[in-house]
């Protein structure tokens, strides 16, 4: 999550505060931002684009592995028939 998204999320959280807490909005928004930043860093998140790229790579690798397993099984079968 980039800094802009973090700012937007903290602002949205501050906007949904009940009217009785509106006077504390700025302070709470700063606290939201700090808590979000600290927890997001702990989670070691990746971007959606990177996740999708890795998922695509994994799918291709699994397909290649499946093809190699079938090829190996066919070769083993040929050897067993001799």
- Residue 27, pLDDT above cutoff 70: yes
- Same domain, residue pair 61 and 38: no
Please, where are the H alpha helices in 20-47? 25-43
Give how many domains the chain has, as a whole number.
Answer: 2
- Same domain, residue pair 34 and 10: yes
- Same domain, residue pair 38 and 71: no
Q: How far apart are CA 10 and CA 50, in angstroms?
A: 24
18: left (phi over 0), alpha (psi -120 to 50) or beta: beta
Query: Which range of residues forms the domain containing residue 51?
Result: 47-82
Mean pLDDT of 57-70: 98
Mean pLDDT of 3-31: 83
- Same domain, residue pair 29 and 65: no
Q: State residue 76's pLDDT score.
A: 96
Average pLDDT, the chain: 88
Three-state SS for 47? coil
Q: State residue 1's pLDDT score.
A: 60
- Same domain, residue pair 66 and 27: no
Mean pLDDT of 9-27: 83
More confidently predicted of 35 and 70: 70
């Amino acid at each position: 999550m980039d800094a802009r998204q973090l700012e937007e999320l903290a602002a949205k959280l501050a906007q949904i505060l009940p009217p009785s807490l509106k006077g504390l909005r700025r302070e709470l928004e700063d606290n939201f931002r700090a808590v979000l930043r600290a927890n997001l860093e702990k989670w070691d998140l990746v971007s959606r684009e990177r996740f999708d790229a890795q998922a695509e790579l994994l799918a291709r690798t699994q397909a290649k592995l499946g093809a190699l397993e079938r090829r190996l099984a066919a070769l083993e079968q040929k050897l067993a028939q001799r």
